[in-house]
Amino acid sequence: MSMIAAGLKIKRDSARYTRLAQKRPGDTEAGLRQRLLSFLDDRSFADYLGKLHPDAMDIFRAATNRVTAEPQEVAAGTMIGLFAHVWDTNAVTLAFNLVTGPASLPQEIAKRLGDDRVLLRANVTEVKRFEDRVRVRYERNGAPEEVEARTAIVATTAPVTRQIVADLPAETAQALDTITYGPYVVGGIVTNEKTRSPWDGIYSILTADKSFNMIFNHTSWRRDPAKPREPGSTFMVYGGADRARRLMEKTDEQIRSTFVADFESLWPEAKRIVQDVIVQRWPNGNPYATPGRSKVQTALERGIDGKIFLAGDYAGDWVQMESAAMMGYEAAAKVRRTHADSLLPTRS
């Protein structure tokens, strides 16, 4: 009963979120982000849910772990936004994916800029502004180097930005310190079954009582009952927040064994068909909004003296590839407006 009551409440407020996400006359992207970030930003998801039956709470905890948070840590509006993204059938809030994969976006940007203008494997150590320029110091092949420009767009994670940008204004530093990241421990599971299997039609499952909180069957979209079944499957599992912290204490081999045991407990048919398990640890896996997060949005979007602008998924209202791309695009637009008199026209 408590699960039903909470579900109805979330369904109601997800509809409110979806209405807020609709563009209004005169809306800017920044204004829309601020509106969504402010939604139910005054309480945690645990406070929003109230007292639930322990089994119901375990289900909502597993859902909250998706964003690397525990229910008492994340703002209620963030979780309502997650449900709204899943339930929205009109693509008002739903995120989009690149068919060619997210890596193809920076690859295409690099292609258009020209290979000689993209510097890889360069570890930036400092971004410092002066009266008329910005200096970027970095290390490449063990040797220090630097470059100067009129402006810089810093598209690193919030903790890295906090570390490498020198002389941050107090408001900007405080805003970056507000950004909270949670951990993931991720497992890629490869199986070698030869016949049709009970998981063929399943894309994802929320697992409330396992070491991982989600399992995805990334080969489900290839399964056509009318066609011969190709051998093997690939799955992705991950534990977020406290599940990840518990897993971090284990060795990679212990994590593999734990993941496989829980995987096989879901489907006994999976025993003896696991071919490989790849483990990755992400201490800063995902930024999520804590209560009050909307109050620092202006400082994140303002930039610093017209010389340094910040971009990254942490600055958006929803952590996703689309949000990260939009923040980068808007930062570039701010640079153009700042130096409109001296920038040459460019092709779109």
Q: In this structure, which long-range contacts are made by residues 332-341, counting pairs with CB atoms below 8 Å and at least 24 apart in sequence?
A: 332/153, 334/303, 334/309, 335/151, 335/153, 335/309, 338/151, 338/306, 339/150, 339/151
pLDDT at 347: 41
Which residue shows structure tokens 């920076």? 106
* pLDDT for 99: 79
According to the model, what pLDDT value does residue 117 have?
85
Model pLDDT, residue 346: 45
Residues 132 and 224 in one domain: no
Q: Where are the alpha helices (DSSP H) in 53-202?
A: 54-65, 76-87, 104-113, 158-164, 170-178
Give me the number of domains the chain comprises: 3
Judge if 271 and 187 occupy the same domain. yes
Q: Is residue 207 part of a domain?
A: yes
- Residue 292 counted as domain residue: no
On whether both 78 and 121 belong to a single domain, the answer is: no
Return d(Cα 315, Cα 302) in angstroms, integer: 11
**Helix or strand or coil: residue 277?**
strand
Whether the pTM exceeds 0.85: the reply is: yes
* Residue 138 belongs to some domain of the structure: yes
d(CA 348, CA 40): 38
My answer on whether 209 and 260 are in the same domain is: yes
Nearest to 85 by CA among 323, 325, 324, 337: 323
Q: Is residue 40 part of a domain?
A: yes
Question: Which mean pLDDT values do the consecutive 10-residue runs of the chain (348 residues) have?
Answer: 96 95 90 94 97 96 96 97 84 67 86 86 95 94 94 95 96 96 97 94 95 95 89 96 97 98 94 95 95 95 92 82 86 87 49
Angle at 108 between CA 105 and CA 113, to 5 degrees: 125
Q: Is residue 47 part of a domain?
A: yes
Helical spans, DSSP H, in 88-223 = 104-113, 158-164, 170-178
Domain CATH number, residue 244: 3.90.660.10
Distance (Å, whole) CA 169 – CA 175: 10
